A and B are shown apart, each in its own frame.
Chain A
């Protein structure tokens, strides 16, 4: 792989720090955008008072969270309770490591990038359960239980959905997958069917696996007060919140990479243009997800399980089989 700064370690360090800080900044303004977007959708104004168009609202919110009382319940498991929010953000950021933002602009272009992403995704349940158990709160416990059931269940269709681009491109390396889609041969569009289906499945499953909106059943504030984050205050709560949004952005980015050709787009292969295409696609997918989020009510937890085992899993298997057949057929020279 091509390394920008001499040694691979320096390359990973510089890019890692740069990308993570950029993402955290983007996330806070993504939250601002979501509040504005949801506000307008609900006939409200959204943030307005702090700065022009409320643009300083994320900064004000961060300060507010920092100065709030930091409470650890007496009966809580202090180590688990305090570690969980930190881990939640870290785990959400992990998948970034293998994400190619533009050609060569990737922290570590692992040969098993997809596998790494799946492993990182499966980790999200750990901080959630740490928070659920460590809070020593009945609502948090119920939320944690839901989180485990949901993460385990949705891990399976997630793997199946991620397998489809792997089969189609013949590689688990994300940059290879992007390269296989170069020139507009995006997997979501071609082959018709398996690609798009797997893409939808991928987004659903990865949001559900991370217990993120709109599958935030472990948090379910109308039922479980605030679920796993019931006992959290101040910046610890803020980190859960941040982790949630980072995760949804990363999911959108991975969806773009796996199914929408990543940084591929019309125009010369310039780094800036590639980055622009990538950001554009990710924003589009994120807005779509927001739109869906603010339009639907929540499923019940057992219905979510039913959806997974009865519908998503079989359709995932079908999609994998269909893409395998497609690859076999094209290799037979069938693409007349």
Chain B
């Protein structure tokens, strides 16, 4: 991605303007922390601790190999693959029509955006137009999904910090309480709460039910009113601040080298948002203010995600009023398994999922099944930052830093 193309794009960050601008330190060539993962001995008597794959705070089944001196981490290496389900290979076996509900299970807290990325890649390959109404619905769903995903992140992040028997659970329950309402909205729209199968090649599968827009605006207003409550429990709290500020700092250069994207990158002060730089769905019809922070630490990532919740609620509320009339599909209805047969070729589509740049690269050989379908999960790249961030911190910080990157192992392992 050329970073310069959109560096001069919109700069309208009301919230970001309040934040101090920290100059990015110039850092020389880095040692690769992965190289000696198997042979590392370290100095002195180090304890090797395998954190995960069964651990309450590893967000699924991440395994972190930590070399500890007391509680101080000397070296850390993440091991992935405990949730590998061979989704990419599975997509080669399934037809284009069948694969949409499968990728729901990749990033299981933001299914809508997974479907969207896949479906958009197929559409690009097939060259079919998506009607305006469908694009609006897709955008609304993606933005509400972003709120739901960030709410779950906020809750689990508080849980990482506060533990299962303390204030962390309280914040977690509050966040889940509001997330439930978004799931209720999706249930009204698609009939499912988690794995929606809302998107389909050429448009969306479900049209808006009667009264959905009113309900959605009500939910958005309620959540907007409740977010300050979480902030009063978290970011306003000196304990929370002392545990997040200055912890897990990523500088912009490292972030770009590792391919971080989404809130993790925007928290480093890099104004990179695919919704603005390559508008897809209906993002070309609405102004998107992506939140920015400059410190690159855990607190900055928290700030960016909370600001994004407000912004997503604003976008979804603004769009739902202007949903145009018209068809919801741009191609003839899908009635058979082999209905979609794109010409030979390849296509890459990337969208801004709640976790960052979610890409889908698909190669067609002209048959109804993709020859190859590669997903680019943002979580995978975020986890790559861990060996750079963890050394020098202690175990409580490990959990907080890991949580702040918002990895979803289903997506990272595929």
Contacts and interface: CB of A to CB of B under 8 A. Distances in A.
Contact of A295 (B71, B170, B399): B170
A145 B70 contact: yes
A293 interface: yes
Nearest to A224: B395
A296 B394 contact: no
Interface stretch (A20-28, A36-44, A60-68): A36-44
Contacts of B395: 142, 223-224
A163 interface: no
B97 interface: no
A83 interface: no
B173 A222 contact: no
Nearest to B159: A222
Nearest to A296: B167
Contacts of B233: 295
Contact of B394 (A138, A139, A301): A301
Nearest to A295: B167
Contact of B399 (A214, A222, A294, A302): A222
Given A222-B56, A222-B161, A222-B164, A296 B396 contact: no
B160 interface: yes
Nearest to A244: B165
Contacts, number: 101
Nearest to B244: A297
Interface string A294-314: 111111111100000000000
A269 interface: no
Interface string B144-177: 0000000000000011111111111111011001
Contacts of B237: 296-297
Interface SS majority for chain B: helix
Contacts of B159: 222
Given A225-B55, A303-B243, A298 B168 contact: yes
B267 interface: no
Contact of A222 (B49, B160, B240, B242): B160
A297 B71 contact: no
A299 B233 CA distance: 14
A220 B159 CA distance: 11
B174 A223 contact: no
Number of contact residues on A: which range applies? 20 to 34
A213 B394 contact: no
Contacts of A296: 162, 166-167, 237, 239
Interface in B215-245: 233-234, 237, 239-240, 242-243
A240 to B, nearest CB: 13
A300 B396 CA distance: 6
A218 to B, nearest CB: 12
B242 A142 contact: no
B92 interface: no
B177 to A, nearest CB: 5
A216 interface: yes
A70 interface: no
B346 interface: no
A41 B171 CA distance: 10
Question: Which of B56, B162, B233, B242 counts the most A-chain CB atoms under 10 A from its CB?
Answer: B162
A221 interface: yes
B164 A221 contact: yes
Contacts of A146: 71
Contacts of A42: 169-170, 173-174
A45 B170 CA distance: 13
B396 A220 contact: yes
Contact of A297 (B56, B243, B394): B243
Contacts of A222: 56-57, 159-164, 168, 399
A43 B226 CA distance: 13
Interface string B329-342: 00000000000000
A301 B49 contact: no
A146 B71 CA distance: 9
A41 B172 CA distance: 12
A277 B47 CA distance: 52
A298 B169 contact: no
A38 B162 CA distance: 14
Question: Which of B163, B167, B239, B394 counts the most A-chain CB atoms under 10 A from its CB?
Answer: B163
A300 B170 CA distance: 19
Nearest to A41: B170
A297 B159 CA distance: 8
B356 to A, nearest CB: 24
Contacts of B70: 145
Given A142-B395, A222-B57, A303-B242, A297 B162 contact: yes
A146 B398 CA distance: 16
Nearest to B397: A300
Interface string A48-66: 0000000000000000000
A183 to B, nearest CB: 38
Given A145-B70, A225-B55, A303-B243, A297 B167 contact: yes
Nearest to A302: B394
Contacts of A145: 70-71
A288 to B, nearest CB: 15
A295 to B, nearest CB: 5
Given A223-B396, A301-B396, A294 B170 contact: yes
B162 A43 contact: no
A186 B70 CA distance: 44
Question: Which of A214, A219, A300 counts the most B-chain CB atoms under 10 A from its CB?
Answer: A300
Nearest to B400: A300
Contact of B165 (A142, A221, A301, A302): A221
B353 to A, nearest CB: 26
13 contacts: A42-B170, A42-B174, A138-B49, A214-B166, A220-B163, A222-B164, A223-B396, A293-B165, A293-B166, A296-B166, A297-B158, A300-B396, A303-B243
Given A221-B165, A297-B168, 20 more contacts: A43-B173, A214-B166, A220-B396, A222-B160, A222-B162, A225-B55, A293-B165, A293-B167, A294-B166, A296-B239, A297-B158, A297-B161, A297-B166, A298-B161, A298-B167, A299-B243, A300-B243, A300-B394, A301-B396, A302-B394
Those 8 A-B pairs whose CB atoms lie nearest each other, nearest first: A297-B162, A42-B173, A296-B167, A297-B161, A300-B396, A222-B57, A222-B160, A297-B167
Interface of A: 38, 41-44, 138-139, 142, 145-146, 213-214, 216, 219-225, 293-303
